[in-house]
């Protein structure tokens, strides 16, 4: 008898109580006003929502992205940092994973990233 794998690399979808944000990667684009974001969550049975927020060091929101009932557990996005004359500085990126309500979120991850000074 032959075994047919239904899921790649043993990535069996999990129930909502086992779904977490597993990895977050950020890269600032060379123009310094855009941010590449790679998010991996636990493969899931029920599609979660995400709220992704970038804040400047003074806590001002400079970018926000809502993902409603994503179909993918491995996601890539580009966020545009807005309302900035000069983007250089330290920022925080908050990712909240939730189902019906964000109060409280099902999982939350906060990371920092730095936009470098412009090259001369």
Whether residue 2 is contained in a domain is answered as no
Which residue range(s) make up the domain with 76? 10-115
Confidence (pLDDT) at 3: 55
Whether residue 1 is contained in a domain is answered as no
Whether residue 106 is contained in a domain is answered as yes
pTM of the model: 0.90
Q: Count other Cβ atoms within 10 Å, centred on residue 53.
A: 17
C-alpha torsion sign, points 68, 47, 101, 59: negative
User: What confidence tens digit (pLDDT) does each residue in 66-116 have?
Assistant: 999 999 999 999 999 999 999 999 999 999 999 999 999 999 999 999 999
Confidence (pLDDT) at 76: 98
Q: Are 99 and 80 in contact (CB under 8 A)?
A: no
Whether residue 120 is contained in a domain is answered as no
**Domain count of the fold of the chain:** 1
What's the token pair of residue 86?
Answer: 């000069």
User: What confidence tens digit (pLDDT) does each residue in 5-56 have?
Assistant: 555 666 799 999 999 999 999 999 999 999 999 999 999 999 999 999 999 9
Whether residue 4 is contained in a domain is answered as no
What's the token pair of residue 1?
Answer: 């008898």
Q: Domain holding 24: CATH number?
A: 2.60.40.10
Whether residue 109 is contained in a domain is answered as yes
Whether residue 5 is contained in a domain is answered as no
Whether residue 85 is contained in a domain is answered as yes
């Amino acid at each position: 008898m032959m075994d047919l794998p239904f899921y790649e690399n043993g990535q069996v979808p999990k129930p909502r109580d086992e779904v977490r944000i597993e990895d977050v990667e950020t890269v600032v684009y060379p123009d310094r006003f855009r941010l590449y974001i790679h998010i991996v969550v636990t493969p899931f049975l029920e599609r979660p929502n995400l709220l992704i927020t970038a804040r400047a060091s003074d806590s001002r929101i400079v970018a926000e992205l809502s993902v409603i009932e994503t179909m993918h557990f491995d996601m890539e996005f580009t966020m545009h940092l807005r309302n900035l004359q000069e983007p250089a500085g330290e920022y925080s990126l908050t990712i909240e994973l939730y189902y019906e309500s964000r109060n409280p979120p099902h999982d939350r991850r906060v990371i920092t990233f730095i936009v470098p000074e412009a090259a001369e």
